[in-house]
């Protein structure tokens, strides 16, 4: 029994930490993310992390990746989250994950190497406006035209639209959900980036107007369960990032509370300040444990994977927004300023909350999967 990280994983973490501290401190994060006309990430840093092997971390070695697991991936994501690192890491990995799990060998050979080396950026387009983030919420319809599928409909909350070369799109053919690969250049595809609160996460909507998908771009292994599994993988990934971001918010606030003197003593001495900080720790440690287990379940193909992912995301969606609010509030006026960093974490929490299902959605899944 060992619920801890290996030496290699600890090393991966310290390498990631060092790289991000040196190459992408929060000043840099702001520069990249506040440039509204830019792609929302630094192509130069993207190239560097691709070389470090982070982009293709979970892609099999045979296809140019590092062939590591989700537990390793969580390590990198925690650190990326701690730095609020703006890059299409999660969407690219999810696109690759979908192709690897539900695609055939030809599709692996076509797509995985370029996703692994960072030369192609992928993203997933699953959820639709106001709909359930599960197979039942898919309204985008596919019809058949000869060998091809023809897709029409709209997707929201799609990450990194400006950067993405490849979209993994969830559709419904009759009653059967499926996944198709749609390239950026596809005819009938309209991309609309939308401004968001969290500038480090670029989102937007895409519309498909009779987009033709050739048979080689349909993931034959995909069905409703596959869509759920992909959403679960997304939930685990964004929650892993949330661990790092929440820990950074706690560290920033705790350190400020130790230094800030009011009524002749550090405000950290007042329990009204100290106890919310302790509660942040309790919640972060707890969704951290849940994420680690969920990642392990994905690696092992364990039957607990869906409920483990749902518990982790539910817990994080439930508590991270409050951590963000407390991080700002416990600072007093300075926390409300653009210049001070506290709000960056509050805003990340607003993005994390609904991403791949909010707390209500996932608690309901926990209830159902638990026999209620």
Partner 1 sequence: MDFDFSPAEEAFRSEVQAFIRDHKPAPNDPEGVANWHKQIREKRWVGFSWPREVGGGGGTISQQVILKEEMSKAKAPSLGTCFMGLAWVGPALIEYGTEEQKQKFIPEILDGAYQWCTGYSEPDSGSDLASLSCKGVREGEAYLVNGQKIWTSIAMWSKWIILLVRTSGDGTKHEGITCLLVPMDSDGIEVRPIKNMSGGAMFAEVFFNDVRVPLGNRLGAEGEGWKVTVSALAHERSSIAEVTGLQRTVEAVKELAKRCTRNGVPSHLDPGIRARIARADAKVEAMRLNGMRALTRQLKGETLAGETSVNKLHRANLEIELGELALEIQGDRGPLDGAATEEDGRWQRLALNWPEVVIGGGTPNIQRNIIAERILGLPKD
- Chain residues that interact with partner 1, rule: CB under 8 A: 1-6, 71, 250, 254, 257-258, 265-266, 268-271, 274-275, 277-279, 281-282, 285-287, 289-290, 292-293, 296, 308, 311, 314-315, 318, 360, 363-364, 366-367, 370-372
Nearer to partner 1 by Cβ, of 160 and 247: the residue is 247
C-alpha torsion angle, residues 107, 182, 156, 192 (rounded to 10): 140
What length does the chain have? 372
Q: How far is the CB of 361 from partner 1 (least distance, A)?
A: 10
187: buried, middle or exposed (CB in 10 Å: 19+, 13-18, 0-12)? exposed
Alpha helix (H) residue ranges in 163-270: 224-259
Q: How far is the CB of 194 from partner 1 (least distance, A)?
A: 29
Distance CA 170, CA 229 (A): 12
Q: How far is the CB of 259 from partner 1 (least distance, A)?
A: 11
Contacts of 49 (CB under 8 A, 6+ apart): 19, 55, 87, 89, 118
In three-state secondary structure terms, 339 is coil
Nearer to partner 1 by Cβ, of 218 and 308: the residue is 308
Nearer to partner 1 by Cβ, of 201 and 288: the residue is 288
Q: How far is the CB of 72 from partner 1 (least distance, A)?
A: 10
Nearer to partner 1 by Cβ, of 117 and 364: the residue is 364
Q: Are 172 and 150 in contact (CB under 8 A)?
A: no
Q: Which two tokens stand for residue 175?
A: 């009653």
Can you give the C-alpha Rg of the chain in angstroms? 21
Q: What is the DSSP letter of 270?
A: S
Distance CA 90, CA 365 (A): 23
Q: How far is the CB of 255 from partner 1 (least distance, A)?
A: 9
Nearer to partner 1 by Cβ, of 18 and 302: the residue is 302
Nearer to partner 1 by Cβ, of 3 and 338: the residue is 3
Q: How far is the CB of 348 from partner 1 (least distance, A)?
A: 21
Nearer to partner 1 by Cβ, of 129 and 278: the residue is 278
Q: How far is the CB of 85 from partner 1 (least distance, A)?
A: 24
Distance CA 355, CA 180 (A): 21
């Amino acid at each position: 029994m060992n619920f801890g990280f290996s030496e290699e994983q600890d090393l991966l973490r310290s390498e990631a930490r060092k790289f991000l501290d040196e190459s992408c401190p929060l000043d840099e994060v702001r520069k990249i993310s506040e440039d509204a006309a830019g792609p929302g990430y630094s192509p130069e840093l993207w190239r560097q992390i691709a070389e470090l092997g982070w982009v293709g971390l979970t892609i099999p070695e045979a296809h140019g990746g590092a062939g590591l697991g989700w537990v390793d991936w969580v390590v990198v994501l925690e650190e990326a989250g701690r730095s609020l690192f703006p890059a299409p890491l999660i969407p690219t990995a999810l696109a690759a994950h979908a192709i690897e799990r539900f695609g055939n060998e030809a599709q692996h050979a076509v797509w995985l190497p370029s996703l692994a080396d960072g030369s192609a950026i992928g993203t997933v387009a699953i959820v639709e406006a106001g709909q359930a983030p599960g197979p039942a919420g898919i309204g985008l319809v596919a019809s058949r035209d000869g060998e091809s599928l023809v897709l029409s409909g709209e997707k929201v909350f799609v990450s990194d639209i400006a950067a993405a070369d490849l979209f993994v799109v969830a559709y419904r053919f009759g009653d059967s959900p499926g996944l198709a690969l749609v390239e950026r250049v596809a005819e009938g595809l309209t991309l609309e980036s939308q401004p968001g609160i969290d500038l480090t996460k670029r989102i937007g909507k895409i519309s498909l107007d009779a987009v033709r998908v050739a048979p080689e771009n349909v993931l034959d292994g995909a069905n409703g369960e596959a869509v759920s599994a992909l959403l679960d993988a997304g939930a685990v990934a964004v929650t892993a990032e949330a661990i790092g971001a929440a820990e950074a918010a706690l560290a920033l606030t705790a350190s400020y509370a130790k230094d800030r003197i009011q009524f002749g003593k550090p405000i950290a001495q007042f329990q009204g300040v100290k106890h919310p900080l302790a509660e942040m720790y309790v919640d972060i440690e707890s969704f951290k444990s849940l994420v680690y287990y969920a990642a392990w379940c994905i690696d092992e193909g364990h039957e607990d994977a869906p409920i483990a992912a749902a518990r982790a995301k539910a817990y994080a969606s439930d508590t991270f927004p409050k951590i963000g609010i407390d991080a700002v509030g416990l600072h007093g006026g300075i926390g409300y300023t653009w210049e001070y960093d506290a709000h960056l974490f509050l805003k990340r929490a607003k993005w994390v909350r609904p991403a791949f299902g909010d707390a209500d959605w996932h608690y309901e899944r926990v209830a159902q999967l638990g026999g209620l």
